[in-house]
């Protein structure tokens, strides 16, 4: 019985709250435009500003309602309230904004809830304050009022017999200032606003602040239910949302009545919410007590089920662990797991074979193992430091160990295991890739030999020219050896030609020497210049020009020989493509452009030729091994370039258009000399 009464009480309180806060009348969906009349001489409620815009407290309220209801408002200003009433009666407008609620001329119309409230006050010049304060009545004094704002009762009570009636508040204050009357009975807010705006508030005193209350509302035609409901629901929403109070405060100052009303409204809402909260808490406790009993039973059953499931999971984990250790044990790669003290926790059969040991070495120092210890000694940073976590999970790293015939290549990865304190153990995975690396080296040397053959004819021609010049100078010694000019020419010219030959041979020897397996700090511009020195020879007899723009400050950490081979392959391919195009366009001069660009993280080399270009199919397949469009090509050039770029943490990108151009972009990560301290192969 008590529970039912509580439910009924809760429903009544909620309905009361809903009635206060959220009641909203349904509005016809067809209303889109509304014509609103207003008295343009009633500041601060509604008026026309100097720039012609419509402003005021009621204007702001109407704009808020229009926005919420998706209405387009057409404001129609009038000189007086009487004009506004005539306009709505004549169907010229739909609503009158901010009209006095006690106007007898509006008896045929319907008022909405009030928009604002104020009081009528008595305003007098400062010079009459003392006289009027001591006067028993005001029979001998004249007053100015607005039509419909002061009832006969108030005038009689004050003893005013002489008065002047004006059509709006602006004209009331204007008559007072111009001396047409001794005092004015005006709307307090409007009077205070107009005097302050005119800079006259210090010349006049409000002798009586509360003569009678006055309020303003909106007027609609009595039979116009649509607009009435529309305005009422809009006002209700505005009050509930708090926007009404914000607008009111923006335009009204020291209005005790408005403050009191707002305070009372908030107190009522708070009391209603508190009452609702108390009822909800009581009901909540009743429901919770029942739910707790039910939940305890459910949780007891869940715990029993969880214990059974935990047993199953433990069996599964044990099974998974056996599979995991089995995968490690029989992996072809050598795997060693060790803790932060480098004590071996796990080592598989392949690792024992690689380290050339037979006995069980669990618990010993991993740094004493062959191969694995050498790899760990080559790492120059703390692998257990959490800040180096990213270095441990990078792509596989290749390292060479041993000397001469015993040199072997290994590829290794480092995997971390960590807890809340940081990395607690490491798994080192090592593969012997000696055969794989030798195969790569063989392919590289074959491609290098192919490039040397492509350069040979040009280099031979370059060597032949200075040799012919030296031979000519030698023959001159027989006939003109005593001539001082001839001697000076020989002394000056012959060494230059010998240096020229020496540079060509030295460049070719450097290019043909065996590839070094280690990375080093390289000035990229220097490598490009070396490649150009060798490759430009092949263009001596052709109409091919070069445009070079390099940055001498860009340094990268790479294998110098592999990057040099990549650049030579790309430049020679571009030269051959332009030579082929010149066969059909012999009068044309073609251009190869090599530019370099760098930012905070990367450095790029762009090599662009104006050769025959490539089709989309050729672009997609050009880096496939053994794919070639040349009669005598190996199809390994760009495939090796791509592999060398990957090995050196770089990227290659190709753009081309048939009979127009081919552009190849090589991107490298920038380095500085400090980075080499923490970097290994």
Token readout for 414 is 């480092």
DSSP H or E segment with residue 123: strand 116-125
Which residues share a beta bridge with 149?
A: none
For the stretch 529-577, pLDDT in tens is 888 877 776 676 788 889 999 988 889 998 888 888 788 888 888 888 8
* Burial readout 415-453 (b: 16 or more C-beta within 10 A, e: otherwise): ebeeeeeebebbbbbbbbbeeebeebeebbeebbebbee
CB 362 within 8 Å of CB 451: no
254: closest CA among 188, 346, 186, 183? 188
* Burial readout 480-498 (b: 16 or more C-beta within 10 A, e: otherwise): eeeeeeeeeebeeeeeebe
78: closest CA among 101, 47, 56, 108? 47
CA distance 416 to 426: 5
538: closest CA among 452, 440, 612, 471? 452
CA distance 374 to 407: 13
CA distance 273 to 13: 9
Half-sphere exposure of 393 (CA within 13 A, CB side): 8
Backbone angles phi, psi at 428, to 5 degrees: -100, 115
CA distance 434 to 411: 9
Q: What is the pLDDT of residue 674?
A: 43
CA distance 504 to 534: 8
For the stretch 624-643, pLDDT in tens is 766 677 765 556 677 778 87
Residues 6+ apart with CB under 8 A from 637: 447, 450, 569, 573
577: closest CA among 460, 462, 664? 664
Query: Strand 142-146 relative to strand 162-166: parallel, antiparallel, unpaired?
Result: parallel
Residue in the block written with tokens 């490759």: 535
**Cis peptide upstream of residue 668 (ω within 30 degrees of 0):** no
Residues 6+ apart with CB under 8 A from 580: 611, 612
Residues 6+ apart with CB under 8 A from 331: 348, 350
CA-based diameter of the chain, in Å? 148
CA distance 29 to 446: 83
Half-sphere exposure of 585 (CA within 13 A, CB side): 15
Indicate the pTM of the whole model.
0.36
Alpha helices in 481-542 (DSSP H): 484-512, 524-535
Query: Strand 33-39 relative to strand 95-100: parallel, antiparallel, unpaired?
Result: parallel
Q: What is the pLDDT of residue 289?
A: 85
Residue 168, helix vs strand vs coil: coil
Cα–Cα distance list, 394 to 220, 272, 288, 412, 681 (Å) = 77, 64, 54, 11, 13
* Complete domains list, the chain, with CATH: 31-254 (3.40.190.10), 330-432 (3.30.450.20), 437-678 (3.30.565.10)
Alpha carbon dihedral 168, 173, 174, 176, in 10-degree steps, equals 130
CA distance 252 to 119: 13
Q: What is the pLDDT of residue 678?
A: 42
Residue in the block written with tokens 């104020």: 118
List of the chain residues with pLDDT < 70: 1-7, 9, 12-31, 150-153, 252-262, 317-326, 386-395, 404, 441-483, 485-517, 537-538, 540, 625-627, 631-636, 672-681
CA distance 258 to 94: 28
CA 530 to the chain's CA centroid: 44
């Amino acid at each position: 019985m008590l529970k039912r009464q509580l439910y009924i009480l809760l429903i009544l309180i909620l309905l009361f709250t809903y009635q206060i806060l959220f009641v909203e009348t349904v509005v016809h969906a067809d209303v889109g435009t509304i014509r609103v009349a207003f008295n343009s001489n009633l500041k601060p409620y509604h008026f026309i500003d100097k720039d012609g815009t419509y402003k005021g407290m009621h204007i702001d309220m109407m704009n808020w309602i229009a926005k919420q209801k998706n209405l387009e408002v057409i404001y129609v200003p009038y000189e007086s309230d009487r004009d506004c009433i005539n306009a709505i009666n004549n169907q010229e407008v739909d609503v009158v904004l901010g009209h006095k609620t006690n106007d007898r001329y509006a008896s045929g119309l319907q008022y909405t809830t009030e928009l604002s409230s104020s009081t009528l006050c008595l305003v007098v010049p400062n010079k009459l304050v003392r006289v009027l304060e001591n006067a028993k009545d005001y029979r001998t004094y004249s007053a100015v009022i607005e039509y419909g704002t002061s009832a006969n009762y108030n005038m009689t009570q004050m003893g005013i017999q002489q008065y002047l009636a004006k059509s709006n508040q602006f004209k009331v204050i204007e008559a007072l200032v111009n001396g047409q009357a001794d005092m004015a009975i005006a709307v307090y807010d409007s009077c205070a606003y107009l005097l302050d705006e005119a800079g006259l508030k210090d010349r006049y005193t409000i002798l009586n602040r509360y003569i009678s209350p006055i309020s303003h509302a909106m007027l609609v035609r009595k039979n116009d239910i649509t607009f009435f409901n529309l305005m009422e629901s809009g006002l209700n929403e505005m009050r509930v949302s708090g926007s009404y109070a914000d607008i009111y405060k923006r335009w009204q100052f020291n209005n005790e009545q408005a403050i009191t009303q707002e305070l009372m409204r908030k107190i009522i809402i708070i009391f209603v919410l508190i009452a609702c909260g108390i009822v909800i808490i009581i009901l909540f406790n009743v429901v919770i007590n029942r739910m707790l009993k039910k939940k305890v039973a459910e949780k007891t059953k869940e715990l029993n089920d969880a214990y059974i499931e935990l047993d199953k999971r433990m069996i599964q984990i044990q099974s998974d662990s056996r599979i995991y250790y089995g995968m490690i044990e029989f992996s072809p790669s050598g795997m060693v797991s060790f803790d932060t003290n480098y004590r071996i926790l796990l080592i598989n059969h392949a690792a024992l074979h690689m380290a050339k040991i037979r006995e069980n070495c669990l618990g010993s120092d991993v740094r004493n193992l062959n191969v694995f210890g050498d790899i760990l000694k080559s790492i120059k940073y703390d692998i257990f430091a959490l800040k180096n976590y990213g270095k441990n999970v990078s792509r596989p790293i290749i390292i060479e160990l041993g000397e001469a015939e015993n040199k072997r290549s290994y590829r290794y990865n480092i995997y971390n295991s960590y807890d809340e304190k940081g990395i607690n153990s490491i798994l080192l995975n090592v593969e012997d890739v000696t055969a794989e690396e030798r195969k790569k080296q063989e392919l590289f040397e074959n491609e290098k030999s192919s490039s040397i053959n492509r350069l040979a004819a040009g280099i031979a021609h370059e060597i032949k020219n200075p040799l012919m010049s030296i031979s000519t100078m030698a023959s001159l010694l027989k006939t003109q050896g005593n001539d001082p000019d001839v001697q000076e020419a020989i002394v000056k010219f012959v060494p230059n030609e010998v240096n020229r030959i020496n540079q060509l041979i030295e460049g070719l020897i450097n290019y043909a020497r065996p590839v070094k397996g280690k990375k080093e700090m390289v000035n990229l511009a220097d490598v490009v210049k070396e490649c150009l020195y060798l490759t430009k020879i092949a263009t001596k007899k052709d109409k091919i020009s070069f445009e070079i723009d390099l940055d001498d400050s860009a340094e990268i950490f790479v294998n110098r020989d592999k990057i040099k081979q990549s650049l030579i392959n790309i430049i020679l391919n571009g030269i051959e493509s332009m030579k082929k195009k010149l066969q059909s366009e012999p009068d044309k001069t073609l251009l190869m452009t090599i530019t370099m660009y760098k930012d905070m993280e990367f450095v790029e080399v762009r090599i662009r030729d104006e050769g025959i270009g490539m089709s989309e199919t050729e672009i997609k397949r050009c880096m496939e091994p053994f794919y070639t469009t040349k009669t005598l090509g190996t199809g390994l050039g760009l495939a090796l370039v791509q592999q060398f770029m990957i090995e050196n943490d770089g990227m290659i990108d190709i753009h081309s258009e048939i009979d127009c151009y081919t552009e190849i972009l090589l991107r490298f990560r920038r380095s500085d000399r400090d980075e080499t301290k923490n970097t290994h192969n």
